[in-house]
Structure formats: C-alpha cells, structure tokens
Structure 1
Amino acid sequence: MTSDFTLPQSTALSTSGLMHLKRFWSKVMLRRVNQFDDELWKKEWQLDKTLLSVLGLGIEQTLTYLFQHAPSFEEFEHWILLTSGMPPGEQVNKFNNLLHKLPEFTQTISSVLSNEELTFWEQNGYLILKSAVPKEDCQETVDVICDFLKIKLNDPETWYGPHTSRQGIMIQLFQHPLLKKNRQSERIRMAYEQLWQRTDIWVTTDRVGFNPPETDQWKFPGPDLHWDCSLDLPIPFNLQGLLYLADTAPNQGAFTLVPGFHNRISEWLRSLPAGTEPRTENLHALGSLPIAAEAGDFIIWQQALPHGSSPNTSLKPRFVQYINYQPADISQQKRWL
C-alpha cells in the first residue's frame, strides 16, 4: 500500500495555480491499480470533493474518466479545460487559502429564511424554497435536457430510448451554462448559508434527473427511500437539495421523504432487533410524503431523512437538477452502517 509520503504534497500547484490537483490525480492513479490506502482516501475525500467543486466537475464524471483513460497529469489538465474551462481565479485563491489554513473573511449571514420557515425546518427537516430559480430558466433547462437525451417533450414514444448518459432516472449531464446559473442562485446559496451558519461552503457539480411515466415496458427503477450516509450514530448534520425544473404533482414521480425523521432516527435505530438491516425495512411505513411543488421551487433536506424518488403514474415526466453546498471540513462517520 502507498504511504502518504510518496505522494505530491497538497500544496503542489497545477498549471492553473490550483493546489491539491496533482495529489488528487496521483491518488486516483494509484487507486485504480489497488495501490492506495483506503483510510487515507477516506480522510481526504471531502477535500477531494471540494477540489472538484472548484473545477466545476462531477465526481462520477471525473473518476470515470481517470479510471478508464489513466491519463498523464498534463492530459488530465487538458481534459479539465475542455470539460469545464478554467476555474475562476477567486475560487482558486479561496481553495488555496483553505490548504494554507488561512482564515477566510467571514461575510454576514443573511436571514433569507423566516422564523416560520425555520420552525418548520426544525420540526420536519426539510424546506421548500419557493421561486428559487426563474421559471423561464427552468423551462430552458428542460429543453437542454431533452436535447441532450434526444427526446421530444410532446412525443412520449421518445422518452424511453437508451442513452449512454442515462443511469435509471439519473442523467450524467454536468456542464452547461444554465446548469451553472441555476447552481449559483442567490436564494439557494443564502438558504444553505443560513442553515449551515457559515459562508465558507462550496457548491457541488451534480447531475440532473429525468423520471418518465411508467408503462407496461418501463417501470420506475428507483432509487426509492434510502439514506446517502452511514447510519452509525450520531448522524452528523449535512444537507442535500434538488430543484424542480417543471411543475410536479404528487403522482408525477415526486421527490419523497419522511418528514421529521431526523428527530427520531436515533430512537428508531436503537429499537430495531439485533441483526436488523435498517435499509431493508419498510421505510414508507415511517410516514413517507411525496412533495408537490412548482418549477423553480427548491427542496432542501437533512441527510438523516429517508428520501428518494417515486414511481411516476402521471402522464408527464419529472425533471430535476440536484444542487448542494457543503463546507470542506464536514464531519464524516468512520464506519459505514
């Protein structure tokens, strides 16, 4: 296994002046041939994700490229420029200061969420930010997704064809000016800052979703209710979010969660008989709720809530964009349960 000392230091600079990139590339190259220590990989994973946020790259998108092509570092840098362009100098400096452990200028946290919304948040663990993105931008984003998938919104026969970027209802589409614009919504960012109670958070470059109506030949593939975190207690505070790009009814494959479960997950887990696998329990029996909302509305939730998509029994597809903000020093559980 490879020692930490055989790797470039995080402070080594790339051509764009960004730190940690060369170390990240080196780690992946070693990992693809099973010569890298898992514990060190886990230890630096949040920093690696923050690096990709600065670069405007999707996690799976980047790892797939590196594992499949094993590029030289110079080839990797060239691929980044072709894929997402030159990272903004302000973001590069902010990230490099993070590596130097320099204190960041703390901005005032705006109170974009009302007292009523915060009370609802504490009780239910989720919020719907109304009109977080203009409806016209949402419709244009839907058009971008349709064009990318080569489907026609008014022709259901085109909704189910294969595409190399389709993974169930998840679509591997990351870089487009509209997707970036949606991620930069001031209202969304300010809501995350208020809930995190800090401004040093980084927007992720995540996927979009397309969930068409079920047919006799095509059935909802999931994901159904699940957690994206370890269930090793205590579950640390973390957030997730998605943007509805079109009006979505409860039966339209709506995003579904169990309201308020963050307040009782510890008690529920401890109440399970020994040897029970919590993830295979009937999570809908805990009180699942499909969330109906309009185009431009943003749903943000705590990671302790069981959540997922749902079967689309309507006549219209569901379109979403996944957007999240996280700090670089987020708490991680050591065990995956």
Structure 2
Amino acid sequence: MKSFQAETKNAGHSGFSREMLAEKMEFYRQQLDENGYVVIEGLIDSIKCQNSIDAICDFMQVEQFDRHTWYKDAPLNSIGLVPMHQHPAFWAIRQDEVVYDAFSGLLDEEKLWVTMDRASFRPPCRYDLEKYGDDANYMHWDYDFRKSARNMFQGLIYLADTDATQGAFSCVPSVYKKIRAGEYEHFDQFDKFTKKGLFLSHAQEFSDKDIVPIAAPAGSLIIWDSRLPHGCVSNHSPMPRFVQFISMYPSGDSESSSAKIEDDRESRIQCFNDKRAPECHRGLNGQHDPERHERFELSELGRKLVGFDHWE
C-alpha cells in the first residue's frame, strides 16, 4: 500500500501563500455573506490533491483515467460517497495551514476543530446502466441552521479540475438571500427537518434554472453557509468528479458545528487513534472499520485541530 507520509510532508503549496489569502480575506467574507458561498481557487497544492485522488481510487478500486473501471455491478451507494475518513492523504489537507487560515478568517475564530469527513467519487452518468443513470439534481440543506446562534460553514475541495457539468457543487443562492434577509416565504417548512436534513423540493418548488453549478480548478476550496441549499448536479462530462469534504468550527462548541458528528475532545481523539469513522457514519456499505491504512503523523496545528493539544 502506498505511503503518504513523506510525500505530504514535502508537498509544496500551489503558490497561494498565507499572505495572499490574508490580503483577499475581506473580499472572500463579502462573497460568502452576499451569495452564501465563496470559491478560493487553487488553494491546495497538486501533490496533496493527487494523493487524495489516489487514496479514493485505491479504496473504490478504480483507475482515475480508465472509464472501464468506474462502473460496478454493485456500487457502494447511489450518490458517490466514499466512506473513508482517516486516510493520511485526507489529514494532510485538513492540517494544511492555508486551509486553516481560510476557515479561521471567514469564521473570525482562531481556536478551531476540523471535521473528520468523507470524500466523493462521481463518474459520468450512464443511461444504459440503471444504477448510474440518475440525473436528478437533489438540492438540500444538511442541518437545521435555526438551532445555531452562530454561522455554520461547510466546505469541500475539488481534487481535480471540475467543470460545471462534471457533477459540480451546485447551489440555489436566490433562496439563501431570502433566508438571510428574513424574506423567505416558506419558513414553516423548516419544521420538516430531520437528522438527515431537508430537501429543497420538500420546502418549495424550484427548477433547474434556479441552480448555479460552480466550476473551478483543482485545489479549489468551496465554503458555503449552511443556510444555502446545495448539492451536486449530475455528471455529464467525460471525467469523474473527485471531492474531499471538509469543515471547521470553534473548538468544543458543538452547537456551532455543521457536522454534529464529533461532539467532544475524547471521542475525536479516539476516532483518530483507532482509525474509525465518526459514530454517525459507521456501518456504511463498503466501509472498513477500522480503516486499513497507516495513522498519520500530525503537525502541531493538526494536533490542535483534532483536539490532542489545547489552543492557548
């Protein structure tokens, strides 16, 4: 099995320095506030992105550029989720200083924890294969944002160049803007929220014309407000979509976590040490428990983002 420790330690940045990010932070804050999402293009270096792609391909038993390997008789799930959480390649991105700076700057908070989230592999839609022919665009909210007094942000990283037709992250900013302004006409429908979230179609009618797909190059970090209905559109491009999900929130403040999956320091440390998924994501089809790769050697920042060390 491939070792990622040396590669990730020696990986360089894409040219997007912490200083450059700081200079543009006010612009990114405005974009996030006004539209419900922000795209920070090319934030993660290509080596780290490719390492995560390789980890996904290894887990899914596919080849990145061989379409004959992308389709399985029994796919793990219908939406392309990759039930892997603790891979060293994922942790190399989670503890990247520029990723931390992005969340810290947007949240205006230094003491953060990072979610131990999953990834996604979504091959092109094929109508000749029933299990890969669903081209519906399921816009949704993941969490009942009414329950948090603070902003909750979610995020993902495009690990490869992603076109608007490539199963791209997509959203409905017009709905977010109404919610933000207190002008949304269907607030009563939010009582339909469950632990799995709420589909936008269960709250109101909308059409594909309302959906905005986001194209961006490899290494781009997309962060969105949890009030923004979102999803991924069907993949009608020649290539799969590779994504790693990631979010950060104030350490120890589970009420400000959009994930609601790692509530306390002890459970977070145990998940990392035991190489297990957060409890609510265990038991998924195809999941390894514990995961079968080496444990990642965290940096000083990484130890704080997990909870091993306290923020001063």
Counterpart position of 1:255: 169
Gap regions ≥5 residues in structure 2: 1-20, 193-199, 258-312
Number of matched pairs: 224
**Cα offset for 1:122?**
2.0
CA-to-partner distance for each residue in 1:14-34, whole Å, 9 max, x for gaps?
Answer: xxxxxxxxxxxxxxxxxxxxx
Give the alignment partner of residue 49 of structure 2, picking from 128, 134, 138.
Answer: 138
Distance 1:205 1:137 in 2: 17
Distance, in Å, in 2 between the alignment partners of 1:190 and 1:245 is 19
Q: TM-score, normalised by structure 1?
A: 0.59
Query: Is 1:129 the equivalent of 2:40?
Result: yes
Distance 1:159 1:263 in 2: 38
Alignment of 1:295 onto 2:218: yes
- Provide the C-alpha distance between the structure 1 equivalents of 2:150 and 2:90, rounded to a whole number of angstroms: 29
Contact 1:253 1:318 survives alignment (8 Å): yes
The CA deviation string for residues 81-127 of structure 1, in whole angstroms up to 9 with x for no partner, is xxxxxxxxxxxxxxxxxxxxxxxxxxxxx936433322222211211
> Aligned AA for 1:329?
D
Larger radius of gyration: 1
C-alpha distance in structure 1 between counterparts of 2:189 and 2:107, whole Å: 35
Identity %: 32
Distance 1:183 1:264 in 2: 32
Aligned residue number for residue 185 of structure 1: 96
In structure 2, the CA distance between the partners of 1:157 and 1:329, relative to structure 1 (3 Å rule), is: same
Is 1:319 aligned to 2:242, yes or no? yes
List structure 1 segments (4+ residues) > 4 angstroms apart after TM superposition. 162-167, 231-236, 266-270, 273-279, 283-286
Moved more, 226-235 or 306-315: 226-235
Q: What residue in structure 2 maps to residue 241 of structure 1?
A: 155
Distance of aligned partners of 1:274 and 1:175 in 2 relative to their CA distance in 1, 3 Å threshold: closer
TM-superposed CA distance for 1:297, in Å, is 0.5
Unaligned runs of 5+ in 1: 1-109
Deviations 1:32-74 (A, max 9, x none): xxxxxxxxxxxxxxxxxxxxxxxxxxxxxxxxxxxxxxxxxxx
Q: Are the structure 2 counterparts of residues 269 and 123 from structure 1 closer, same or farther at C-alpha, using a change threshold of 3 Å?
A: closer
What RMSD over aligned residues (CA atoms) do the two structures have, in Å? 3.0
Give the aligned partner of residue 255 of structure 2.
Answer: 331
Flag the 1:158–1:205 CA change in 2: closer, same or farther, 3 A.
same
CA distance in 2, matches of 1:285, 1:319: 23
Aligned to 2:230: 307
Is the 8 Å Cα contact of residues 156 and 222 (structure 2) preserved in structure 1? Answer: yes
The residue aligned with 1:116 is: 27
Contact 2:152 2:256 in 1 (8 A): no
- Residue 236 of structure 1, CA deviation: 4.6
Deviation per CA, 1:212-258, whole angstroms, max 9, x where unpaired? 10112112477721001126488751000000011000000100012
Q: Distance in 2 between matches of 1:233 and 1:152?
A: 42
Offset of 1:178 from its aligned partner?
A: 1.2
Work out the CA distance in 1 between the residues paired with 2:73 and 2:23.
Answer: 42
Rate the CA distance shift 1:274–1:164 in 2: closer, same or farther, 3 A: closer
Q: Which amino acid aligns with 1:292?
A: A
**Residues 207 and 234 of structure 1: is their aligned pair in 2 closer, same or farther, counting only changes over 3 Å?**
closer
Partners of 1:163 and 1:299 lie apart in 2 by 31
- 2:50 aligned partner, one-letter code: Q
